[in-house]
Amino acid sequence: MGKKSRVKKQIKEGIVPLSVQKTRIKQGQSQTNWERLWLWLVYLAVGVAFLTPFIISGKFYFPFVGPKGLFLMGCCQVAFFAWLVLAISYKKYRPRWEKMLLVFGFFVLTLSLSAIFGADPSRSFWSKFERMTGLVMWLHLFGFFWALIFTLQSKEVWRKFFIFSVAIGVAISLMALLEQAGVKAFDFSQRGGSTLGNTSFLGSYLLFNVFLAAYLFFTSTKWRERIIFILTIALAILAIYLSGARAGTLGSVGGLALTGLLYLSFKVSSKKARLLGKVVLIISSVAVLTSVILLHIPNNPVSDKFISLTTQSREVNWQMAWQGFLEKPIFGWGGENYYLVFPKYFNPCLYTPECGSEVWFDRTHNIVLDTLVANGAVGLVAYLGLLMMAVWLFARARKKDFWIFAVFTPLIVAYFMQNLTVFDMPVSLLMFVFVLGFAGFINLKGKETAIVGPLAENNKKGWPLLIMAIAFLVCFIWFVVQPAKADYYTLKAISASDIDSRIALAQKTLDASPAGKYQIRDFFGERFLLDIQNNYDKIRGQASVEQATKRLLDFITQTLQKTVTESPLDYSAALRLAQAYNMYTVFDYSKLDLAVQYGEKLLQLSPNNQQSYWVLSQAKLYQGKTDEALALAKKAITLEPQWFQSWEIAIQIAQRAGKNDEAKQLASDGLALALSAIDRNQNYLNYYQSAVSFSQTLGLNKQAKEIAQRAVQHNPSEWSGEFKDILDTTSSPDINTLTK
């Protein structure tokens, strides 16, 4: 086939060589107003998406995450459907085979299969307002990716978006620094992180902007711009470091060091210097890879150092995650379903400070294990393939633009490394997909695909646009508007002034959207039960208030029952339901059998979790089966003797059963353990409180006061209030509180 024939065929297929483009531009052929309208709509949606870090609202259930996720999905929809209109109207915007697109598509396919064959497809699809990283978010980001690679068709356009993103990063960095300086106007969260609501999320976000600024610095030809970009890098790293985002700090600094090594290995003129650079690069790569492997193996210097920097709970959590992966190794449990895996393999030592004192995890805080549990080995291969494809495409661009290779390759490495200890949220996923889109653009640009100029007549038919408009409205309402209503009405429901209004608003919340339904139901159960418990004295004896309370309990139990039916492995829902029926028993004794039924279900779902035994022992106590209740409470002690609330509950049950001698024996044994625990770890308040409680049970009031004084002397600034009135603050806790 001759050159002219090839050109004609390419024009017919909508792929035009650069030489033909230049000719067309010279001839005055330009974009139509229709094309410019939709193209700029894509640009606008992409630009507005970069404002996601600023989105925060105290009127929503999770003010830092839910609004951001919904806002981002709205931007993704606008970009995607605007691109679809362009693709229908102009051939040059239509999809073409592209390596990154295929690999990304395979990754999304694995997420979909994991969701379908997982433990709870609904949870995998919708996620929850605390995370917003379910399959629905990935589908939106995949659509966003299509719009990026097929409409942002010149490097200058990408550069402008880099600058805009970096400018947003500068604003966030300044806000984070002002927050650290104590300026109250910028104190958005107790966990730091400025408008991101968490220092780790701040670090993940700014990490990307550090490298975007680095690329702009290296490719700029104006010294004023280079000064601005280098100051931007320094500002972002300073904000990450002072905020305490250690993973982000190490990722940023380590990634920039890798950029320097790549420059030394491939760019300098001296052969000896390049050889030295490559040797150091190889040694460094081997060292990092070895460290990554050792990080996942217990009891070695790398994992021990990591634990010393974080908490022991991370290692325990990782061991539980590995067990979950081994049970479902191919496609995993489905995205967002670690919440179901965690109670099944629960380690009772998690209650103790030696294991971190963290008893609920919905993430492993490790991208490798998160992916293995959620999506299995197939999902991990797909995810690593996505990263490696990006690196390969950036490496291919080395000869044409060395800094693409030297900056974006370290960015991918740094992003992966920091995710070994943290996890993604909507903002970091936006930046990640944006970088993947740039990798896809680089690949398409290398094929000399069309950049400017219409290559086909505008499609005059109106029906495609009508279909796009309808599809957009349906998606926007279903995936953005309705979930936003659910998120908004959640707080409205719990703040309602009367019980019937609460029930009505709570039902309105749950009817709005299935997004986050499990977490919202659990939240309602927790808050409503707590309110009933706190106002118990006001409720009892008032017939009208008791009836209203029963209606609220009916709503709670019916709502939680839906979760247990739809998601049978949801331990939290079963726990809350058993607690609700235990409380309901006070108003209606006929509910006791249900309390026992769901208490026994807890033992099936999480046989190593102390809460399972506490709740069931309470139900057995209400039944009058004191021996069974005490046996269950003692079983909770054997799971982890160093968690003293189990001892306190067992003592309380023994006292209620009239077994005072047994109660004193338990108190004596518990006191000996508590005093030993204080000697090993003097920084844990619970040990002192338990020792005081045990002493009082034994009638050793003088010893109780001495222990309290010892605690206050050790930490007078924080603990003095805890022991101000020793008789009130150290009495045995109520079983209803302990089994919450």
Q: What is the DSSP string of 329-396?
A: -SS-S-TT-HHHHHHHT--GGGGSGGGTS----S--S-HHHHHHHHHHHHHHHHHHHHHHHHHHHHHH
Question: C-alpha distances in angstroms, 40 versus 82, 147, 165, 643?
Answer: 9, 12, 17, 60
Here the tokens at position 456 are 């086909």
Could you say which DSSP state residue 734 is in? P
Is residue 709 scored above 80 in pLDDT? yes
Cα angle, residue 81 at apex, residues 79 and 82 outer, rounded to 5°? 65
The CA distance from 225 to 668, in Å, is 72
Give the residue ranges of DSSP H helices in 66-152: 66-89, 99-117, 121-126, 135-151
At residue 4, the pLDDT reads 52
pLDDT per residue as tens digits for the range 618-636: 999 999 999 999 999 999 9
Task: Compute CA 211 distance to the chain's CA centroid, rounded to the nearest angstrom.
Answer: 23
> 571-587 and 592-605 are packed helices; what angle lies between their axes, rounded to 10 degrees?
160
pLDDT per residue as tens digits for the range 668-683: 999 999 999 999 888 8
At residue 463, the pLDDT reads 73
pLDDT per residue as tens digits for the range 516-541: 999 999 999 999 999 999 888 888 87
pLDDT per residue as tens digits for the range 26-43: 433 456 788 899 999 999
The CA distance from 201 to 430, in Å, is 12
Is residue 248 scored above 70 in pLDDT? yes
* Burial class of residue 283 in the structure, from the number of CB atoms within 10 Å of its CB (0-12 exposed, 13-18 middle, 19+ buried): exposed
Q: What is the 3-state secondary structure (H, E, C) of 143-170?
A: HHHHHHHHHCCCHHHHHHHHHHHHHHHH
Q: How confident is the model at residue 25 (pLDDT cuts 50, 70, 90)?
A: very low
pLDDT per residue as tens digits for the range 259-274: 999 999 999 989 999 9
Which range, of 120-124, 234-238, 395-399, averages the lowest pLDDT? 395-399
In sequence order, which residues have a C-beta less than 8 Å from that of residue 22 and are 6 or more positions away? none
In sequence order, which residues have a C-beta less than 8 Å from that of residue 72 and are 6 or more positions away? 49, 52, 137, 140, 426, 427, 430
pLDDT mean across residues, the chain: 89
Here the tokens at position 660 are 């005072």
* Burial class of residue 439 in the structure, from the number of CB atoms within 10 Å of its CB (0-12 exposed, 13-18 middle, 19+ buried): buried
Q: What is the 3-state secondary structure (H, E, C) of 211-270?
A: HHHHHHHHHCCCHHHHHHHHHHHHHHHHHHHHHCCHHHHHHHHHHHHHHHHHHHHHCCCC
Backbone dihedral angles phi then psi of residue 454, each to the nearest 5 degrees: -70, 140
Question: C-alpha distances in angstroms, 36 versus 89, 309, 522?
Answer: 12, 52, 48
Q: How confident is the model at residue 124 (pLDDT cuts 50, 70, 90)?
A: very high
Q: How confident is the model at residue 354 (pLDDT cuts 50, 70, 90)?
A: confident
- Residues 619, 599: contact at Cβ < 8 Å? yes
Is residue 449 scored above 80 in pLDDT? no
pTM of the shown model: 0.90
At residue 729, the pLDDT reads 47
Q: How confident is the model at residue 727 (pLDDT cuts 50, 70, 90)?
A: very low
pLDDT per residue as tens digits for the range 600-609: 999 999 999 9
Tell me the domain boundaries of the chain: 10-443
